[in-house]
Amino acid sequence: MFLSVRSLFSDLRNLSGTTLMNLLAALFMTQLLYVIGVGGVPDPELCIALAFSLQYIRLCVLCWMLVMAHHMYSQFRTNLHLVPITDNAIGKHFLRYSIFAWGLPALLLGASIIIQYREKGGKILDTSSLKEQNCWFLDENAFIYGLLIPSSLLTIITLFYLIQSALVSHYVISMQVDRKVREKMRRKRTLQIVLFTKITFLLIIVIILGALTKLIKSDPLWITYHVGQGLQGIFIAMLVTCNCQVLKLYTRSLKSRASSASSIGGSSRHPISYGNIVPGARSLLSKGTSISKSTSLQLLTWDPTPDPV
């Protein structure tokens, strides 16, 4: 839904919207890979590829969440008013964010591959232990050092930037003299901080459930993880959609189009009065009006031919 709305509204095509799009894309890939392993993966090569891919994309989700929190903190610290500041270096900033959010998980995945290779004694296609949990997780050491510890660090840094953003926002809001501007700024920035906090805690819950499922191997935890992993993408998409009020913007645009169409239709129902002019001139003016409102080539001919002057 957010993909279609972003294509319709140019106000959402900024650095914040682009980072959010990458987060949603990573979440979509997580859900897609999760669904692939639901019924079990008998092929060893596909099983190990699925486990590596899921570990990489999970780290990408957390990295993009950290990028969004950092960008929000930078915005709150530099923008002291409601008027957005034009970022002339948006391409450079997005390139840096992309290198971090897609590159750091790749480095961590390389370390996980090395740990998995050594743990298996060189037999990396031995996926008997991975198939017990539908090839969603690597073995214990690769899972802990390649996913669990980096995920904990990324979430801690994300929470740090969220807290710093709240403190900076409170300080900037208190500096505003106009009460209306102060209330509007408080409402907008609170919505953004609350949205990012909800998404972060939802990701943390799914990570904790996955870690407990991997390490403890309990059936109730396994079912709970299934539910959380299966619904996290939908919950986050709903949070983003409701917070950005994109449905309100979409309905507003539809209403404006309908009102403009009705105004055009209403004007066509009322004939245009030309006053007390001769019938020949009235017919010519009516012809010109019909020409301006039509794209037909037949109206470009004069019938009958006008008398020469």
User: Within its chain, how far is the Cα of 245 from the centroid?
Assistant: 13
The rounded distance, in Å, linking the Cα atoms of 215 and 199 is: 24
Reported confidence tier of residue 157, pLDDT bands at 50, 70, 90: very high
Neighbour tally for 266: CB within 10 Å? 9
Residue range 75-100: mean pLDDT, rounded:
77
Residue 119 C-beta-side C-alpha neighbours within 13 Å: 19
Residue-wise pLDDT for 6-59, tens only, equals: 554 454 567 887 888 899 889 989 988 888 887 778 888 888 889 899 999 999
Reported confidence tier of residue 290, pLDDT bands at 50, 70, 90: very low
User: Within its chain, how far is the Cα of 256 from the centroid?
Assistant: 26
**pLDDT attached to residue 153:** 96
**pLDDT attached to residue 88:** 66
The rounded distance, in Å, linking the Cα atoms of 3 and 44 is: 35
Q: Give me 136's structure tokens.
A: 């969603």
Which range has the worst mean pLDDT, 143-147, 212-216, 235-239? 235-239
Residue range 257-274: mean pLDDT, rounded:
54
**pLDDT attached to residue 105:** 95
Helix (H) or strand (E) holding 126: none
Neighbour tally for 264: CB within 10 Å? 10
Q: Which DSSP symbol is given to 85? A: P
Please indicate, yes or no, whether the overall pTM of this predicted structure exceeds 0.75.
no
Assess whether pLDDT exceeds 50 at residue 156: yes
CB 240 within 8 A of CB 12: no
Q: Return the residue matching tokens 């009235």.
A: 282
Residue range 63-92: mean pLDDT, rounded:
79
**pLDDT attached to residue 103:** 94
CB 232 within 8 A of CB 27: yes
The rounded distance, in Å, linking the Cα atoms of 132 and 5 is: 40
Residue-wise pLDDT for 108-123, tens only, equals: 999 999 998 888 888 8
CB 204 within 8 A of CB 155: yes
Q: What totals of helices (H) and strands (E) does the chain contain, helices first?
A: 10, 0
Q: What mean pLDDT, rounded, does the chain reach?
A: 77
Q: Which backbone phi and psi does 176 adopt, to 5 degrees?
A: -75, 135
Closest CA to 144 of 51, 50, 215: 215
**pLDDT attached to residue 258:** 61
The rounded distance, in Å, linking the Cα atoms of 141 and 139 is: 6
